[in-house]
Amino acid sequence: MMHTTRTFITRIQPRRQNTLIQTPAFQATKCRTFTQTPLTGAHKPPTPRPISHAFDPATLPPPTATAFSFLHPSNLTHPDYQHAITINPPSLKVPWPTSLPCALQSRYWREAEHAATDYLHIIFSSHSNNQPKEKTITTISDAAVSYAINLLPLGNLTRTKLLTRTLVLAFLHDDAADKLTRDRHPHLLIPTHDSPETNTPTNTAFALLSQDILTESPSQGHTLLQDILSWGSTSQRKPPTQDFTSLKSYIPIALEDFGAGLILRTVEFSLNLPSFSPQEWETLRVLRDLCARHMLLTNDLYSYAKEVIAEAGGGEKMFNAVRVVKQSMGVDDGVAKRMVRMVIVNLEGRMDGEYTRLERGHGIISEAGLRYARAMIIAAAGNMFFSATCGRYARVVEGSEL
């Protein structure tokens, strides 16, 4: 049985056959090298990727305060947003109980799909004795693509494809790190920091990706790979088992398990930014922490129903903010979910205030630093849209199918 412990990408379950995106049968697919991925979306209008589900796990009136003025659609004409599609979630029947004005999505989602499936086919073709089912490849590809294009919509085509593969690797590693499968899939594991043989055949998935990342940018790529290695080591530890008495005690431990540092590093890599000084990193620290908390609690809120069912079916003990609030406050599921939603909305107010402070020149901040600040907020909006439309979360919720 797969774990239900929530890392930054909750362990996946195979999708049903009536999936939105079909992947050709693995045996019939001829692998391309990464550089041969066709630009299938180059001559198509920039429309959003189709969705099949949408839901709101904690219905509350949407915030009335105007926030995040830079993210209003009328202000998204700058070249910084040339690689993105602007999404108005309510127009797609997606509940949007947030002060974030809209979400962005990479216009390269078709190319990201090809990049994900190519990477998976190359990995598994080198281990023919352990090939997954077609449904598994489709599930992994779909989840990684959806996460990448919604959280990291500002990257160019090359970086979008690389970061999609990074998330494919994270999914593969997350499942292979399961005690029951670790011995069967060592080539899918991210090597640990104390494992020097990072380019041996047993680490095929990481080795293939690392070569392409370093080719794209030796310096930025090295930093990203270090964060991938760090998260890979962390995710192989035993999940927390203690009961938490408050969100204050839960969040610091959960952020590490969630992979918040790696997510924000992928945001940075997507933008091709210059290196920040230690002083500028310190200036950005508060907003980084607020955005990380927002993404963690959003993930917990939307995945809660799925995790409850998985735990009841014999999965691992749930590690989720809604459960922490429910137990520590002595309330039912509905109240606990609404309380977590209120915390998320409160975080948005603080995020908006902190960005406004940075924009007004408080602290050591460059234009590149402001671009990163905006991209982190955009990632939080993308995480909300991803979570609200994620089939893995929504299928257990009645009435979520569009």
pLDDT in single tens digits along all 402 residues of the chain? 334 345 555 545 544 433 333 333 333 333 344 444 444 444 556 899 999 999 999 988 877 778 999 999 999 999 999 999 999 999 999 999 999 999 999 999 999 999 999 999 888 887 666 666 778 888 899 999 999 999 999 999 999 999 999 999 998 887 766 655 555 577 788 887 655 444 455 558 899 999 999 999 999 999 999 999 999 888 777 666 678 999 999 999 999 888 999 999 999 999 999 999 999 999 999 999 999 999 999 999 999 999 999 999 887 788 999 999 999 999 999 999 999 999 999 999 999 999 999 999 877 899 999 999 999 999 999 999 999 999 989 999 999 999
Domain spanning 69-395: CATH 1.20.58.220: no
Going 301 to 303 to 305 to 307, the CA torsion angle's sign is negative
For residue 384, give the nearest of 160, 116, 3, 71 by alpha carbon.
71
Pair of tokens at residue 3 = 């774990």
Helix (H, G, I), strand (E, B) or coil at 386: helix
The runs of H, that is alpha helices, within 239-277 are 247-258, 260-271
300/254 Cα distance (integer angstroms): 10
Cβ atoms of 163 and 270 closer than 8 Å:
yes
State the DSSP H helix or E strand holding residue 304, giving kind and residue range, or none if neither: helix 278-312
Helix (H, G, I), strand (E, B) or coil at 106: strand
Pairs from 10-14 (Cβ < 8 Å, separation ≥ 24): 10/299, 10/303, 10/306, 10/307, 10/392, 10/393, 11/174, 11/175, 11/178, 12/139, 12/140, 12/143, 12/171, 12/175, 12/392, 13/139, 13/392, 14/133, 14/135, 14/136, 14/138, 14/139
Pair of tokens at residue 192 = 């640990």
For residue 363, give the nearest of 277, 288, 279 by alpha carbon.
279
Cβ atoms of 244 and 328 closer than 8 Å:
yes
Helix (H, G, I), strand (E, B) or coil at 85: strand
State the maximum Cα–Cα separation within the chain, in Å, rounded to a whole number. Answer: 58
